[in-house]
Every structure is written in structure tokens, then in C-alpha cells.
Amino acid sequence: MAAATGAATIGSVFRGEGVPVKERFDCWRELLARTRASDMTSVHADDFRAEMRRLELGPVTLLRSSFPPTRFRRTAALVRRTDPEVYHLTMPLDGGLALTRGAGDRTRTFGRGDLYLVDSSTPYDVRALGVPAPGRPDRRTEAVGIDFPAALLPLPPQRLREVLGLGFSVRAGSAALLSQFLLGLDRQAAALGPDEAARMGAVTVDLVAAWLARELEAEAVLPEEARHLALAQEVRAFVRRNLHDPELTPAVIAAAHHVSVSHLHRVFTCQSQGRTLAAWIRERRLEQAHRELADPARRTTPVQTVAARCGFARADDFSRAFRAAYGLSPREHRRQALAGGRPGGA
């Protein structure tokens, strides 16, 4: 077990190959049990080849793991013995997880594209099914998840019982935003310092709350900050999907999200450290154009075509904005990038 590079104070990394064979399963089980205490068993315990990245985001813990078939049983006896009252949200990335929650509940199976939420106060039985792994002798399950105190979630516990143990698709809506945020956090784990990590933990819980409130049709009970954060995240995703549209204006975005333009401006500017929505859209368009112009596969695409694809209706407006942002014209940037020089603004 080793500290995560660049984030020694907030996380750790476990790689089974770096631990003596006989100690691997116990080390991995101990690390996971810090927030997910259960009886863990595996037919691969004698030679347990697993990896886990654990990131502390204040009171929230982010886990990214890859492991062979394993069973996790949180029994009624374990619940009676100790209950930290936490929620566990899990999103399989590869392989499958079969969940049985509580006495008499039916077993549900989740795979890539799903996520589910359980609590530490109710017994559960999870079986990691795994899929064949290229170049490895065992089947694997890969997943990302978060653990956080139940008290942080600003939703009535009796309403949350309606969604515990159910599977939800991450292919659209608030669940899609949440899943992409979690994957982005995992990718940036090594770059986060303690203060920033704690802020990201608070943002994570707000996004979980927004997702669950949408599923329960209970947005009205959310704190204002959580509603505003969710709106800003939804707007950013909407903009990225529609950058090509030159008619993408704050008025169009406000109408698509059923809010007034003034409310949209106020919320987005507050959630973006003072940056206006129009400025943010222009930055994203310029970034996309910057990438496309440096792409060898698009070297014959006319500059004005790239500009139009990025939502700039007028070529001269695009050229002026590009030079102001990067210090050289679009053609100069393309020429330097494709010649192997240092592209402007890089």
C-alpha cells in the first residue's frame, strides 16, 4: 500500500503486486473496511490481485477499485455491533455486481451504465461477478464509488428508502452528470490538495442530493446551494452538447432549463467564480477550435469550417477572438502545431 503520488495527505493506492502474496487479501480488505465494513470472502484470497485508489474528500471517500470475484456481506450482526450511518454509492465500470438488500429482498444485478445506493444500517449481500480480463488469469470487476455520512444528505430519510438498492442508469439526466463528475474526480486525484479535496467532497454530496431529489421529485426540499450547483452543472453539460449551434444563447439555455434569463445569469456567475455564461461559452468554443486546428486528421479542413463547427457564425469574429485568446491567428496556430512547433496558448 503506497501513498498516492502528489496527494499523500488525502489518499492512498493499493496494488496487490506490491504486497506479499499471503498479505494481499487482508491488506485490501482492511483498506476497504474503513468505510465499508463487511464480511469479505473470495476464492482468490490466497493470491488476491487487486488495485484500489482511495481519495479522502473531507468527510467523503472516493474509491476506485479493480478486483477478482469477491463477496461482501454486511450482516445483521455487523449492523448491531457498529453502524457508522453512511451511504455507499457504487457505479460498476466493468463486470457486474449482484445485490441482495435486507431480508427477503430480491437480488438485483448492476453493470456498466448503472449506479446504486445502499446504507450501512441495512444488511446487504453483494457478489462481484467479474468479466474475463485480457492478459490475466482471473475475472475482474472494476467500480468507482463514494462513501459519506448519512447526515450530510439534505433529504428526508423516509423518502430515501424508496431508492435504496435500486439501479439507475447513468446515460442521461442528473445521474449522467454525477457519473462524469465522479470519473473526473478519479482522474484528477493526484492533483488535488487537501483544501480543494474537501471542497470537492461538498460538491459531490450536493450532486448526489440533486440526482436523488430529481428521482424522488423532491427538488423543493434541497438547500438553495445544492439546487444552484445542479443547475450550473446541467447548463455546462447542455452547452458542451450544443457548442456547434450559433444560436446557443443564454435565452435559449434558460428556456431549455425552465428558468428565467436573470436567474440563470445570477446562478451561473455565482457558481463560476464570477465568469459569465456568455464568456464561458466563448471559452469552450475557442478551446474546441484550438484542438481541432492542431489535429493532423483535420489538416485539410478549412479554418472557416472549423469555426462554424465550433459555433462561430462569422469568420472574422472567430479570428479576432482566437488571436485575443491565444496571441496568434488560427492559421498560424495550425501551421505551428502541424509543423511540430509549440502551438499558441499551449
Mean pLDDT is lowest, of 83-97, 226-240, 256-270, 290-304, for 226-240
Rounded to 5 degrees, φ, ψ at 193 are -90, 170
Residue pLDDT, tens place only, 20-57: 888 999 999 999 999 999 999 999 999 898 999 999 99
**Total domain count for the chain?**
3
Task: Based on the fold, state whether residues 16 and 69 are members of the same structural domain.
Answer: yes
User: Quick one: 252 and 135 in the same domain?
Assistant: no
Same domain, 316 and 174: no
pLDDT band at 81 (very low <50, low <70, confident <90, very high): very high
Residue 333 exposure: Cα atoms within 13 Å on the Cβ side: 23
Q: Give 245-265 pLDDT, tens digit per residue.
A: 999 999 999 998 888 999 999
Shared domain for 126 and 267, answered yes or no, is no
Same domain, 297 and 259: no
* For the chain, counts of helices (H) and of strands (E): 12, 14
Same domain, 92 and 201: yes
Can you spell out the DSSP letters for 200-214? HHHHHHHHHHHHHHH
Query: Among 107-116, 198-207, 335-344, which range has the highest average pLDDT?
Result: 107-116
Looking at the structure, tell me whether residues 190 and 246 fall in a common domain. no
Burial status of residue 11 (CB atoms within 10 A of its CB: 0-12, 13-18, 19 or more): buried
Q: Is residue 207 part of a domain?
A: yes
Same domain, 174 and 268: no
Same domain, 68 and 93: yes
| pLDDT range class, residue 135, cuts 50, 70, 90 | low
Q: Please tell me the distance from the alpha carbon of residue 241 to that of residue 246, in angstroms, as a whole number.
A: 13
On whether residue 188 sits in a domain, the answer given is yes
Q: Looking at residue 237, what is its pLDDT?
A: 84
Task: Say if residue 205 is in the same domain as residue 324.
Answer: no
Question: Nearest-CA neighbor of 39 among 82, 72, 70?
Answer: 72
- For 112, counting Cβ atoms within 10 Å of its Cβ (0-12 exposed, 13-18 middle, 19+ buried), the class is middle
- pLDDT of 37 reads 92
Residue 344 lies in a domain: no
Domain presence at residue 346: no
Beta carbons of 80 and 53 less than 8 angstroms apart? no
Q: Which of 170, 193, 218 is the last residue of a domain?
A: 218
- The stretch 251-280 carries a mean pLDDT of 91
Read off the pLDDT of each residue in 220-235 and give the average, rounded to a whole number: 82
Residue 250 inside a domain? The answer is yes
Question: Which CATH number goes with the domain that contains 272?
Answer: 1.10.10
**Grid cell at residue 303:** 479554418
What domain range includes position 307? Answer: 281-338
pLDDT for the residue numbered 330: 94
Same domain, residue pair 66 and 39: yes
Q: Do the domain assignments include residue 196?
A: yes
Q: Is residue 105 one of the residues assigned to a domain?
A: yes
When pLDDT is averaged across residues 100-110 and rounded to a whole number, the result is 86
The answer as to whether 345 is a domain residue is no
From 198, 218, 238, the end of a domain falls on 218
63: domain CATH number is 2.60.120.10
How much is the pLDDT for 343?
46
Q: Can you tell me the mean pLDDT for 171-196?
A: 86
Pair (105, 146) in one structural domain: yes
DSSP string spanning 222-286? S-HHHHHHHHHHHHHHHHHHTTT-TT--HHHHHHHTTS-HHHHHHHHHHHTTT--HHHHHHHHHH
